[in-house]
Structure 1
Amino acid sequence: MGSSYAKLGPKTADEGGGVYDVEDLAAGMVRLENGATVFVEASWESHVEQQRTTCQLMGTKAGAELNPLRIYTEIDGNSVDIRPEHPNVSGHEMEIVHFIECIRENKMPIATGEHGLHVQLILDAIYESARTGKGVEIE
């Protein structure tokens, strides 16, 4: 199921700001073949303390989140919060470096065009669900 909203951008445009042809927020729930569920939220304009990028994973044996990296699990029956040390790198910069490496070394990219197609099919289904108010199945 998906939803999208365009309330803040049009308000800004009405107040003499720029013209925005994109929604403020889009959200979707994607159910995978294996039974896992993915919740996706994306917003470029919202009333929050700080715009941020985050990812949370929740499973039956552990959970994790990014920014900062934390892993939640049980060890010997005790809940633990693991905070691994890792370098603070720009994901965008690393994508560019990887892209250049693929060109120079004729390597297959980590994310292929087929991966991009699958992502686009999911996004299109979320928009269709938001439009119709119904779930959309992807073949």
Structure 2
Amino acid sequence: MTSMRRIKVGIVGLGIMGRVHTKAYKSHPNVEVIAVCDIDEAKAESFAREFSIPRFYTDFRAMSEDPELEAVSITTPDFSHKEPVITFAKAGKDILCEKPLATSTSDAEEMVKAARNSGVKLMVAFHNRWSPPYAILKSRVISGELGSPIYAYARLCDTIYVPTKMISWSSKTSVIWFLGSHVVDLVRWIFEREAEKVYCVKRGYILKSMNIETEDFLHYIVEFQDGAVALFENSWVLPETLPSVVDFASKFVFTKGCVYVDTHHSQAMRVFTSAKAENPDLFGGPLEIHGHLTGFNVRTVWHFVECLIEDKTPLSTGEDGLAVTKIIEAALKSAAEGKPVKI
């Protein structure tokens, strides 16, 4: 593998996920990160220096014109994926876009169309498809061992640390975009069925009292083809005293069995110090094990590289991103109108 040519990539958006993608690329033997971009010039320059990256930009349009650049990760905030994706697609660069693909169906459709018309790959980073428990669950679904899906429950929540301290743009998104896109994709992928109808309820008290104009939580029920149903819960106002920033658990019921997955409240590892109790992340990463990076966030990026090297279709495509955006947009419409909405 190391004898292959090195693919030259760049990263747009140098926040938390930009750092994750950069570390993942830098750990791959067949990748060279040649450029990064952020609207904050000081951050872009410092980031490039930290990771020994030769070029940095403050304008993604200028970066898209780099003749050496072959592929790019878009790791900007939820609401700002459209313009970079379309720009790089038109420039002939393959794209790995963080979830959600877009926060409106019309934007997502334009992005998918731009990639298709330019003949470039558009992958959406639905990281949990590479999480070991869910990858194993998917393999059991494919084998037929579990039968057909009947219903599911998926809870993905964060502590209030995330919208108040971890990110600065929580008022410009919703927890259903920030977290819900993960679990909506996961259930759709496991069910192997398209969504048909959604009913959603949302409430906002705590964050709005802190002048952060976004919802505290959303609960929504999605009906899928063939009668399968999923109940979702997304919140980001849990107390910071929880032993994990993330609260993620799910249950899938099939005609021949059921599966429970809980990646953040397991007894696998618990750490107690005089300062706090902690359930460390054992799945996402990047996790350094004996000098090597691993974790499903890393594996997502490596899969994108594999698709470039082998010229194959990504496991999570732009069309998958579009499908998720349609479901979430319909859920928000349902919450606003107070009634079920067809998808």
Check whether TM > 0.5: yes
- How far, CA to CA, are the matches of 2:237 and 2:309 in structure 1? 38
What is the one-letter code of the residue matched to 1:106? D
| Structure 2 match to 1:17 | none
- Aligned residue number for residue 323 of structure 2: 118
Aligned to 2:304: 99
Contact persistence 1:24–1:46 (CA under 8 A): no
Instruction: Please report how far the alpha carbon of residue 97 of structure 1 lies from its aligned counterpart in structure 2 after TM superposition.
Output: 2.0
Matched residues in 1 for 2:335 and 2:309: separation? 42
Supply the distance in 2 between the matched residues of 1:24 and 1:93 (Cα, whole angstroms): 30
Q: Structure 1 stretches of 5 or more lacking a match?
A: 14-19, 69-87
Q: Which residue of 2 aligns with 1:62?
A: 257
Residues 89-110 of structure 1 deviation map (CA, whole Å, 9 limit, x = unaligned): 3232222222232233322111
For residue 238 of structure 2, give the secondary structure of its aligned residue in structure 1: coil
Counterpart in the other structure of 2:207: 9
Using a 3 Å threshold, how does the CA distance of structure 1 residues 133 and 93 change in structure 2: closer, same or farther?
A: same
1:115 to partner: Cα distance: 1.0
**Gaps in structure 2 of 5+ consecutive residues:** 1-198, 264-281, 285-295
Alignment of 1:33-112 (within 5 A): 33-47=225-239, 49=242, 50=244, 51-68=246-263, 88-90=282-284, 91-112=296-317
Name which structure has the greater RCO, CA cutoff 8 Å, separation 6+: 1
Equivalent residues of 1:29, 1:38 under 8 A apart: yes
SS at match of 1:3: strand
Offset at 1:119?
0.7
Q: Which has the higher helix share?
A: 2
Residues 121 and 60 (structure 1), Cα distance of their counterparts in 2 relative to 1, 3 Å cut: same
Using the size of structure 1 for normalisation, the TM-score is 0.70
Rounded to whole Å, the distance in 1 between the matches of 2:305 and 2:237 is: 32
- SS of 2:342 mapped into structure 1: coil
Equivalent position SS for 2:230 = strand
- Taking every aligned residue pair, what percent have the same amino acid on both sides? 27
